[in-house]
Each structure stands twice: as C-alpha cells, then as structure tokens.
Amino acid sequence: MKASPTLTNNLQAVLTDLIELHVQGKQAHWNIVGTNFRDLHLQLDEIVDAARQFADDTAERMRALHALPDGRSSTVAASTSLAQFPEGLISTKDAIERIVAAMEAAVGTMRKVHDEVDEEDPTSADLLHEFIAKLEQFAWMVSAETLKPTASVTAPDEK
C-alpha cells in the first residue's frame, strides 16, 4: 500500500507533535525545581522514552507506506500543535501543567486525524489507539500530582 497525500499529512502531523513532546519532556526534565522534583524528573523520562518510541513507530510506519517522514527541527518548530515550552527553571507545578497540556495537544492531533487515518489504513489507526491510551494514562498520572482530594477520611478513633 502507498499512503495518499492525506494519510501522509496526517501521520506527519502526529510525528511532529511526538517529536516536540519528546523535546519538551527533556527540557522540563532538565529544568524542573521544587516539590517532588525527583519523582517528576524520573516520570518525565518515562514520557520522553514513550514519545521517542511513538515518533519512531510513526516514522517507520510512514516509510512502510512509502511516505517520507520529516523530523527536521525546522519542520517540527513550524508545524507542531504544542505550545512552546518556556526557557529557564520551571517549578514542578508549572512543569506538570505544561507537560499535561503538551500530551493533551498531541492526543488532540491524533484524535483529529484518526478517522481519516482509519479510513485509509486501519493498521496506522491501531498505532494511534496505542499512543492515545498511553499518553492519556501519563497525563492522568502526572496531573494527579497537583489534584486536590475530594474525600475526607477520618480514622475510626477520631469519630
């Protein structure tokens, strides 16, 4: 099978967001400071590793479909849907918000192109399903660092 221009463009959009997510995750990893630094520092590496693998899977799928992936920094910077990550030190709280937003943006791109991808190539759509599930799980786990509990539990002897 040879990818149509539409499938190529859709997979390219996914690829650029995944490359940018990888880069932003490393930027955060290197520059976070504050509460829960170590846990977030390590968790960011998990996200970076996944984003890098997903980008590679996407690019290799494109090549299997005779499409040409473009992962050049100029292409990524010009076409990613992710907001630019700030320079300098960033608090763990702000980094969490930024990284969760970046993962949600990448997932948003995948969901936006999904139906067209699935129509032409269900195998590529299966990859998107895998990526979406893992990135949404990461977003939930990272965002849990800043969520406030909604239940109040008292010990039995405090009643």
Question: Which of 24, 29, 94, 93 has its CA nearest to residue 52?
Answer: 24
pLDDT of residue 154: 76
What is the maximum span of the chain, computed from C-alpha positions, in angstroms?
A: 68
The set of residues, in sequence order, having a beta carbon less than 8 Å from that of 54 and lying 6+ positions away, is 18, 127, 131, 134, 135
pLDDT of residue 158: 63
Cα four-point dihedral sign 97, 102, 106, 111: positive
Tell me the C-alpha distance between 103 and 117, whole Å.
Answer: 20
pLDDT of residue 27: 97
- Return the domain boundaries, the chain: 5-145
Architecture of domain 5-145: Up-down Bundle (1.20)
From first to last of its 159 residues, what are the pLDDT tens digits of the chain? 999 999 999 999 999 999 999 999 999 999 999 999 999 999 999 999 999 999 999 999 999 999 999 999 999 999 999 999 999 999 999 999 999 999 999 999 999 999 999 999 999 999 999 999 999 999 999 999 888 888 887 777 765
pLDDT of residue 124: 98
Where on the phi/psi map is residue 66: left (φ > 0), alpha (ψ -120 to 50), or beta?
left
pTM higher than 0.75: yes
